[in-house]
Amino acid sequence: MAVTNKQNARQIWLDIAKGLGICLVVIYHCTEGILNSFQNTESIQYLANFFRSWLMPMFFMVSGILVRRSIMQDDAAKHHSKMLDWAYIYVLWSVIIYLVRLFSNSFTNTQMQLNEILFILWDPVPTIWFIYALLLSYALTYLLRNQSPWRVLPVAFALNIINGVYFGWFEDSIFQQLAWIFCFYSLGFYCADKIVAVVRHNLFSWHWILSFGVLGLLVAVFKPMVPVFLAPFLSIAMSLGFLVICYRTSTSLPANAVKLGAYLGSISLFIYLTHFPLPAASRLLLNYLGLYSYAANMIVATLVAILVAHVAARLAGRVPISWLFKRPAPTKKNTLSHPAKSH
């Protein structure tokens, strides 16, 4: 997506947040693969702790900000269509990821069971839970759109904390992720204007950026010791720090760099959907070539994910490629039209 004069700074920095964020998701999934494959990787564990603390909360907060206008203004038919779109993508890509992982069991460290596809309504296959949680968060927010935030937000944060205290309650179900993540989506929805004002405020911007670095370092090292009731608020503070960095980036970097960040945001869904085999594939390829290192794994996987998503975005308007990323429009019944009688 090219940045045009019609786009305001608010939209650009949110696109940059999505673009940088999705690249960090690819890196995070590389850290998970490394942790599943090697021993004595303390530095990688710290990096994984850092990402787990704020990356998904930031995405859901941004999603809540972006959907506020449409949820409040669009008619019921548009909401219904959007939820069907998310459901279509979720089911289709669950099948794709399931098949790829099933046939790669023999040479990867992620083992897919033959019957796992049968349980996707409550237990998503790996990586695609994000889409399902977005669908459910959207549906819940639409139903609760006219409720006071003072009713919704306390319940949402209470669910987050309860999920942390009694982690096994929702184990192996989408409700585990939803209970964790919905509070950030609802916060973005109900407090969109306040969040934007905080991010764009000049006076405290460096405080937020500094807090992102300091809290990130502390959480990376001491995450297992963070009290459950404190975790969501650390996630919010770090997410705001990251968003401030993205906003400052949009106002200070050269135009071409800003356009690149915004473009990555515009193809973030393509990156998310198509990147799932790349951390393992790049690790195997680099090992085969004798060029493997943790950094090389992360860089190669991220660059290839961007390239694949760029190609997918270019081809997404063509059938049948478009069916991978967009629900086919329902066919309209042909009706015979009769010429008007002349008098």
Q: Amino acid letter at 259? A: K
pLDDT category at 334 given cuts 50, 70, 90 is low
Cα Rg, the chain, nearest whole Å: 21
For the chain, the structural domain boundaries read: 9-324
pLDDT over threshold 90, residue 74: no
Report the pLDDT value the prediction gives residue 108, as an integer from 0 to 100: 63
Mind listing the pLDDT tens digit for each residue in 115-174? 888 889 999 988 899 999 999 999 999 999 999 999 999 999 999 999 988 876 777 789
pLDDT over threshold 90, residue 232: yes
d(CA 17, CA 15): 5
pLDDT category at 7 given cuts 50, 70, 90 is very low
Give every CB contact of residue 141 below 8 A, 6+ residues apart in sequence: 64, 67, 71, 185, 186, 189
pLDDT over threshold 60, residue 244: yes
d(CA 91, CA 97): 10
pLDDT over threshold 90, residue 111: no
Average pLDDT over residues 302-321: 94
- pTM score, two decimals? 0.90
Report the pLDDT value the prediction gives residue 205, as an integer from 0 to 100: 86
Report the pLDDT value the prediction gives residue 342, as an integer from 0 to 100: 42
Tokens of 316: 């997404």
Q: Amino acid letter at 166? A: Y
Tokens of 322: 């478009």
d(CA 197, CA 64): 15
Nearest-5° Cα angle at 168, 166 to 173: 120
Q: Amino acid letter at 37? A: S
pLDDT over threshold 80, residue 48: yes
Tokens of 60: 């859901």
pLDDT category at 110 given cuts 50, 70, 90 is low
d(CA 305, CA 258): 20
Report the pLDDT value the prediction gives residue 193, as an integer from 0 to 100: 94
Hey, how many other C-beta atoms are within 10 angstroms of the C-beta on 295?
Answer: 10
Alpha carbon 70 to its chain's center: 19
Burial of 316 (0-12, 13-18, 19+ CB in 10 A): middle
Report the pLDDT value the prediction gives residue 126, as an integer from 0 to 100: 83
- Closest residue by Cα to residue 223 from 6, 54, 8, 40: 54
pLDDT over threshold 70, residue 106: no
Report the pLDDT value the prediction gives residue 317, as an integer from 0 to 100: 87
Percent of the chain predicted with pLDDT > 90: 71
pLDDT over threshold 60, residue 294: yes
Q: Are 61 and 195 in contact (CB under 8 A)?
A: yes
d(CA 68, CA 56): 19
Average pLDDT over residues 293-304: 96
d(CA 247, CA 109): 38
> What does the CA dihedral 85, 236, 200, 10 come to, rounded to 10 degrees?
-10
- Closest residue by Cα to residue 69 from 179, 235, 249, 196: 196
pLDDT over threshold 50, residue 1: no
d(CA 55, CA 8): 24
**How far from 68 is each of 60, 154, 190, 200, CA to CA, in Å?**
12, 19, 8, 19
